[in-house]
């Protein structure tokens, strides 16, 4: 597949141009770069392999050297997926996702994810969203994160919600249980403002950059997490965190950087008796605008997480 670079895309990072032009998720774009499937043809017709940090140049052509069907597998309808719908109206639905259930499929034909269930129950969501494998989903949760997921039933509502999230208008709150390392301090309230970048040696993780030089070198994105401690028990704490523009693994990486990783988080902390990490998306709130009326939905802390602090 070939994508000529327009003047409006000159200077934009190539991974962003590919994601938008091909209609695929950024995580999949990273896989394509790692697999050496993206090339650039310059104005003289010369072809070279692209790097993720390259900037697009007008007059060049970006080539994605894979079959279009392999780029982004569409979510197939799966009526066997149990959807715990906690809020539903004509323009959107909110699902309370259980831990262990993926938000969307990765492989072609994969079933059992929230996206598969949405595709079956709300067929109008097909074609809405960031890609065909995420029908209607305005955001995602890690597989082992439980809690509230928002999905739009019309393209207009999807566009309005996504734009509002970029402006911080969707109030997203989380409950978590963390465990302080020896010598670590967690204030009663605070903010964590550490830019996030892909981890240089482990593609499963992100890296919280502690200084501007590292952030610039890693191409990190600004990330802000606010929090307040609700309860303490020994070295453990129950915390409410807010991150309206949360990036992949943001809360997990931020609290690990403080020396207070989430209980059960095998990537950013240590393994425990808990079969999941202790993170729950507990609130979604929208004050309302001309496109999407207001809503406010809460989800209680699951018993297995409450038991960690009780």
pLDDT digits (tens, 9 = 90+) for 140-183: 999 999 999 999 999 999 999 998 888 888 999 999 999 999 99
Average confidence score pLDDT of the chain: 89
- Which of 138, 194, 147, 151 is closest to 174 using CA atoms? 147
For the chain, list the strands marked E by DSSP.
Answer: 2-4, 38-41, 47-49, 61-64, 85-89, 92-97, 146-152, 170-179, 189-192, 196-198, 206-208, 225-233, 236-242, 279-286, 295-298
Average pLDDT, integer, range 213-240? 93
Enumerate the domain spans of the chain.
Answer: 2-71, 73-166, 174-281
Which of 288 and 205 is assigned the larger pLDDT? 205
| Residue 69 confidence (pLDDT) above 50 | no
Average pLDDT, integer, range 259-287? 92
Confidence of residue 73 (pLDDT cuts 50, 70, 90): low
Nearest-angstrom CA–CA distance, 94 and 86: 6
Here the tokens at position 165 are 């999230």
The CATH architecture annotation of domain 2-71 reads: Roll (3.10)
Question: Contact at 8 Å (CB) between 73 and 108?
Answer: yes
| Residue 32 confidence (pLDDT) above 50 | yes
Here the tokens at position 290 are 């001309």
**pLDDT recorded at residue 65:** 81
| Residue 54 confidence (pLDDT) above 50 | yes
**Domain 73-166 in this protein, CATH class:** alpha beta
Nearest-angstrom CA–CA distance, 243 and 240: 10
**pLDDT recorded at residue 8:** 82
**Quick check: helix, strand or coil at residue 41?**
strand
Question: Contact at 8 Å (CB) between 43 and 60?
Answer: yes
**Domain 174-281 in this protein, CATH class:** alpha beta
| 201: CB partners within 8 A, 6+ apart | none
Fill in the DSSP letter of residue 213: H
Same fold, 2-71 and 73-166: no
User: Structure pTM?
Assistant: 0.78
């Amino acid at each position: 597949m070939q994508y000529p670079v327009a003047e409006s895309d000159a200077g934009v990072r190539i991974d962003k141009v590919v994601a938008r032009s091909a209609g695929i998720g950024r995580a999949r774009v990273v896989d394509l770069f790692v697999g050496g499937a993206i090339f650039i043809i310059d104005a003289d017709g010369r072809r070279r392999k692209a790097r993720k940090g390259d900037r697009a140049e007008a007059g060049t052509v970006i080539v994605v050297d894979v079959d279009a069907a392999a780029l982004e597998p569409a979510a197939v309808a799966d009526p066997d997926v149990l959807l715990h719908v906690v809020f539903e109206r004509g323009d959107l639905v909110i699902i309370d996702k259980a831990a262990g259930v993926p938000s969307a499929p990765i492989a072609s034909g994969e079933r059992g994810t929230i996206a598969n269930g949405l595709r079956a129950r709300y067929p109008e969501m097909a074609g809405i969203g960031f890609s065909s494998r995420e029908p209607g989903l305005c955001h995602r949760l890690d597989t082992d994160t439980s809690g509230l997921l928002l999905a739009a039933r019309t393209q207009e509502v999807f566009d309005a919600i996504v734009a509002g999230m970029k402006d911080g208008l969707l109030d997203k709150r989380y409950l978590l249980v963390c465990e302080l390392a020896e010598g670590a301090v967690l204030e009663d309230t605070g903010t964590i403002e550490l830019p996030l970048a892909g981890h240089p040696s482990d593609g499963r993780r992100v890296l919280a950059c502690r200084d501007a030089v590292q952030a610039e070198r890693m191409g990190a994105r600004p990330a802000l997490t606010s929090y307040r401690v609700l309860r303490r028990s020994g070295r453990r704490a129950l915390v409410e965190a807010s991150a309206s523009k949360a990036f992949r693994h943001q809360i997990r990486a931020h609290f690990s950087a403080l020396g207070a990783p989430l209980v059960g988080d095998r990537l950013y902390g240590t393994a425990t008796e808990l079969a999941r990490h202790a993170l729950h998306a507990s609130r979604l709130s929208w004050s309302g605008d001309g496109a999407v009326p207001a809503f406010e939905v809460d989800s209680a802390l699951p018993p297995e997480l409450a038991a960690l602090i009780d």
